[in-house]
Amino acid sequence: MAEIVYPPVIAAARTLFRVLDIKFHMEGTEHVPRTGGAVLVSNHISYLDFIFAGFAALPSKRLVRFMAKQDVFDNRISGPLMRGMHHIPVDREAGAGSYATALRMLKAGEVVGVFAEATISRSFTVKEIKNGAIRMAQATGTPVIPVALWGDHRLWTKGRPRNLLQRHVPVTILVGEPMHPKRGENVNDHTTDLHRRLSELVDRAQRTYPEVPQGVWWQPAHLGGSAPTPEEAAAMDAAEAEARAKKE
């Protein structure tokens, strides 16, 4: 695929992060294969996750094609960029088309990015995840690469005002060892294992983060922060979904 848009976007992001003095800590990037297809699965805590999860693949000189909701592609500003970077639109009413596109890209040797929680976690813990990443890997014989992000939610996340120009924010990116689910193996077992791996990576990223203050909104409740508990976050998500359904 012709890469006219993606490289300049990465260059612009790198320049901005240098200006803002974003303090990156990255581990395990060697687990992203330098060739061939792979399913990169990240936790979801920020509207900026696709940028930072994509950074996990840059040391291997790979570009990630993220699956993202159709609304992002419909936006007059983000839409042309998303299409130019060959990301994959997901229409929740017709998901088969995006799934087929992802399979085609994996078979062509691309890295496909998935946020298996589907929506941002308000509790900043890993929510229940979908099994699509495992099914795609099984169907194409490609590895699943778990990725944990921590810190970028301080710039922009659900229910909080944007603070995109905040300086000196540490951002942790941890890449776990690849999983190799085989066709015919139990999808649910592999999905449970992926959830465990993601949760362990996220917990390590949180506990080793340079700043672990008590009572702040961006820290999970079990580490002394004021973020909603997983149960409170689930109730908030359910209320939001109900309100959205009434509008439709």
Model confidence band, residue 236 (pLDDT cutoffs 50, 70, 90)? very high
Q: How do residues 124-139 score in pLDDT, each as one tens digit? A: 999 999 999 999 999 9
* 2 confidence band (pLDDT: 50, 70, 90): confident
Residue 27: both structure tokens together: 């581990």
Q: How far is it, in rounded angstroms, from Cα 35 to Cα 53? A: 18
Query: Which is nearest to 69 in space by CA: 114, 25, 38?
Result: 114
Kindly give the residue spans of alpha helices, DSSP state H, lying in the chain: 6-19, 49-55, 70-74, 78-84, 95-107, 132-140, 187-207, 230-247
Amino acid at 216: V
Q: What does each C-alpha distance from 179 to 84, 139, 141, 168 come to in angstroms?
A: 30, 14, 11, 34
pLDDT 10s digits, 162-193 = 999 999 999 999 999 999 999 999 999 999 99
Q: How many domains does the chain have?
A: 1
- Parallel, antiparallel or unpaired: strands 144-150 and 170-175: antiparallel
Q: Tell me, what's the pLDDT at 4? A: 95
Given a cut of 90, whether residue 147 has pLDDT beyond it is: yes
- Summarize the confidence of residues 198-207 as an average pLDDT: 98
Distance of CA 58 to the CA centre of its chain: 15
Please check whether residue 34 lies inside any domain of the structure. yes
Q: Write the DSSP symbol of residue 126.
A: -
Q: Which amino acid would we find at residue 130? A: K
| Residue 10 within a domain | yes
pLDDT of residue 229: 98
Q: What per-residue confidence (pLDDT) applies to 248?
A: 74
Looking up tokens 């998303």, which residue turns up?
82
Q: What percent of the chain has pLDDT above 70?
A: 100
Does residue 159 carry a pLDDT above 80? yes
Compute how many other C-beta atoms are within 10 angstroms of the C-beta atom of residue 28.
Answer: 17
Q: Tokens in use for 88?
A: 């994959």
Parent domain of 95: 5-214
Q: Is residue 170 part of a domain?
A: yes
Nearest to 129 by CA among 179, 182, 60, 172: 179
pLDDT at residue 70, rounded to an integer: 93
Structure confidence at residue 212 (pLDDT): 85
CA atoms in the 13 A half-sphere facing the CB of 14 = 9
Please tell me the predicted confidence (pLDDT) of residue 92: 73
Q: For position 184, which CATH number holds?
A: 3.40.1130.10
Report whether 120 contacts 113 (CB < 8 A): no
Residue 18 belongs to a domain:
yes
Task: Give pLDDT tens digits for 219-231.
Answer: 999 999 999 999 9
In this predicted structure, what is the pLDDT of residue 195?
A: 98
Encoding tokens for residue 237? 């998500």
Q: How confident is the model at residue 91 (pLDDT cuts 50, 70, 90)?
A: confident
pLDDT given at position 138: 98
Spatial distance between the Cα atoms of 168 and 193, rounded to a whole number of angstroms = 34
Q: Characterize the bridge pairing of strands 111-114 and 64-69.
A: parallel
Q: What is the pLDDT of residues 92-146, one digit of tens each?
A: 776 789 999 999 999 999 999 999 999 999 999 999 999 999 999 999 999 999 9
**147 lies in some domain:** yes
In a domain, 92, yes or no: yes
Is residue 181 a contact partner of residue 135, using CB atoms and an 8 Å limit? no
Residue 222 lies in a domain: no
237 domain residue, yes or no: no
* Maximal CA-CA distance, the chain: 49
- The overall average pLDDT reported for the chain is 96
What pTM was computed for the model? 0.96
pLDDT of 19-73, one tens digit each? 999 999 999 999 999 999 999 999 999 999 999 999 999 999 999 999 999 999 9
Question: How far is residue 80's CA from residue 117's CA, in Å, rounded to a whole number?
Answer: 25
